[in-house]
Amino acid sequence: MKQLNEKVAIVTGAGQGIGKGIAMCLAKRGVKVVCTGRREAPIQQTVAEIEELGGQGLAMTCDSADRARVEEVVKAAVDTFGSIDVIVNNGQAIVPSAPVEDTTYENMLAAWQSGTIGSLNYMQAAFPYMKEQHEGRIINFASATGMFGIAGQLAYGSNKEALRGLTKIAAKEWGQYGICANVVLPGAESPAAKAWAEKFPEEYQKQVMLNPMHRFGDPEDDIAPVVAFLAGPDSCYYSGQSVIVDGANSIMP
């Protein structure tokens, strides 16, 4: 079984926020990281920072809904670094909030293509390589928005719950090949959270104080180390689970 520093990972949405935090955290632990995103400049910046630390990275633009491009990314990871061991499906399009009756087909499609369908594309593209080496890690990202049914978030939340279903079924089917699949539900200081804080500072501060730790998680220091555990050898019997990383914020009173 490979140690973490012997592995190759693809991290989607690696140009900012949680994705960038994961990419940096894994790289600091010796993982070779393929950073993907729809915009080139941010992922190139992430790779530049990885290389400044002495790590190895590769930046590739990709819309995860584009199956042919996903196949190219996975092949490039194998051709460049020799294998593909970890898929971190973090990237996700954010669509406008709306009540159920006003949610548009276009927004539903955008959420599902970038989330559930995009994650499935990466999983299926990496599967033959992981099956052959009898080892692999799939780490998908869901949200309390879907788990707890946050009003106004049908497109995003239903997609995230579908991702949890996808992950559990993959864990059941692929466990025989040494592939573990898990879900992380983060509570982090993402770019979207920062934008919300700037627009609604009083509401933001109120939500911060409702968190038992009186802060939101840092992408690299709080969320990414959990991903590193799920990507490493110590999680070889941990599969099909949803891991909430939010400082106990989601525990209901």
Sign of the alpha-carbon dihedral angle for 185, 112, 86, 180: positive
Catalytic residue among 105, 122, 129, 156: 156
Q: How far apart are the first and last CA of the chain?
A: 42
Q: Residue 22: phi, psi to the nearest 5? A: -65, -45
Q: Cα separations (Å) of 11 from 33, 39, 53, 154, 204? A: 7, 14, 18, 26, 28
Question: Cα-flanking dihedrals φ and ψ of residue 141, to 5°?
Answer: -120, 125
Active-site residue, 204 included: no
Characterise 36 by phi-psi region: left (phi > 0), alpha (psi -120 to 50), beta (else): beta
Beta carbons of 166 and 43 less than 8 angstroms apart: no
Strands (E), 122-239: 136-141, 179-186
Q: Is 131 exposed, middle or buried (0-12, 13-18, 19+ CB in 10 A)?
A: middle
Q: Note the residue count of the chain.
A: 253
| Active site residues per annotation | 156
